[in-house]
Amino acid sequence: MSKNDDVFNITMILMTLFSSLEIVRDENNIELIYDVDPTVPKELKGDSEALLHLLIQTLTFVFQNTDKNEVLLSIKAPEDFLYEELVVFSVTDTGINKEKMNSFIENRLTESLKTLNAEIQENKKDSSDIIISIPLKVEDIGNRRYYRLPDISMLGKKVLLLCDKSRVAYSIEKMFKYFLYEVDSGLEAYKKQGSNLSHYDIVVISDTMTTPKLETLIKKVQKKSSLKYVIVQSADAVEIRQRNVETAYLIKPAMQESIYELIISLFKDDVEARIINPTVVHTIIDMSKYINLPLKAEEQKYIDSIQLAAEQEKISHKEHENVNSVPVLDTETGLKNVQTVGMNYRMKLRKFLDDFKKSDIFFRQIVNEKSVWKTKEFLIDLEKESKFIGALRLASLAEKASLLFVYDKLDDLPLYVGKYHLELKRVVGEIEKFMNNPEKQSSF
């Protein structure tokens, strides 16, 4: 069997994708959510390595350029999947402008698309969508992603879903509804049901919204009814701690398989014991008093800006003034440097972007891994290249970080990860501004 005819499990591809993007997700504080239609076969045939590479390329670009804190990857296939059909992978509402999107597709994605015989579909309503159709095969036509619960008593449950992020809620709600579950998502929907907690079989809540008060309440309700309590939590943030309430976990990224396995685990004992729920007693509860309510995005940004300003206030005023007196990109100094060696300044800037634009991720990785020699060599190279193009503030930062090796203060290196990310972002912004200004380029 050739590489182009690998039989692969789409769920495994998505899990590998999720873990591969961990650093860039964390760096940009973005939640990756999956929405896989049941029409997508469980096992497909095709070039799985090329598919994974294409998805990593696409989502890395989106994470680094979107201002959204949630990114939804949707996967759809025809209802009647015969031998070979088009499977559509979509990342919608990215907010990325059309010019940047087209540039990425033409310069970075063309070869990856060609390898898979894939095509970009245009959404005329929203040019910030990335929609990729890929022809994939299926070996066993009957091998579909259909889920059948083992007992009829597991069907038709009522779920209260409280999530701090709207797209996470949308994805989980859709997957519960696949099993004909009635889902009330959010406090407003809960209030419309009369704020009656006993109306529900399952309470599903984001870990960030849980409180000791809520768990005490759930425990009391569980004594009267078989209410299931489920916490939605990231795989890389699972806390192993003692809870005073019977708890199940839904680990992100949640997929249909996750919901299927969760339901079975929640109700398996009830089915075996043939437990019949008692007559429901109304339990009227104002849930807003028991949970951590997420702030609106604008409020969170305002609070974050205040906290950041407070932290910056602690920094020496003298150092602050010295840093700000130096331009982010001194193009005159850079031009003089390249002219001395007979180089083109614009080409040198482009080379710097190629080498360092995403180096903050690499820097964070080698610092976390405590790779002393790699870090030292990286900082030396960064200082030299930054000085050469006139990025003097970035060069100064690299020089200060290098001094930690001289004074044996390597434990302070993690402090420079965030600083480097911010300063590199400024430099990249100034370089791109310069490169896109024809008037400035003409004199260089």
**Distance between CA atoms of residues 276 and 273, nearest Å:** 9
Residue pLDDT, tens place only, 215-230: 999 999 888 888 999 9
Residue pLDDT, tens place only, 320-335: 444 556 789 999 998 9
pLDDT at 441 over 80: no
pLDDT band at 377 (very low <50, low <70, confident <90, very high): confident
Residue pLDDT, tens place only, 180-238: 899 999 999 999 888 888 889 999 999 989 988 999 999 998 888 889 999 998 866 55
Q: Where are the domains of the chain?
A: 3-137, 152-289, 315-442
Residue pLDDT, tens place only, 352-372: 999 998 899 889 888 888 888
pLDDT of residue 103: 92
Residues linked to residue 205 through DSSP beta bridges, in sequence order: 162, 231
pLDDT at 240 over 70: no
pLDDT of residue 320: 46
Is the CATH number of domain 152-289 1.10.10.10? no
Residue type, 98: K
pLDDT band at 415 (very low <50, low <70, confident <90, very high): confident
Mean pLDDT of the chain: 84
Residue pLDDT, tens place only, 2-52: 456 788 989 899 999 998 998 888 888 899 999 998 888 888 999 999 999
pLDDT band at 147 (very low <50, low <70, confident <90, very high): confident
pLDDT band at 309 (very low <50, low <70, confident <90, very high): very low
- The topology under which CATH files domain 3-137 is Heat Shock Protein 90 (3.30.565)
pLDDT at 306 over 60: no
- Strand 158-162, strand 182-185: pairing: parallel
Residue pLDDT, tens place only, 67-83: 898 999 999 998 878 78
pLDDT band at 105 (very low <50, low <70, confident <90, very high): very high
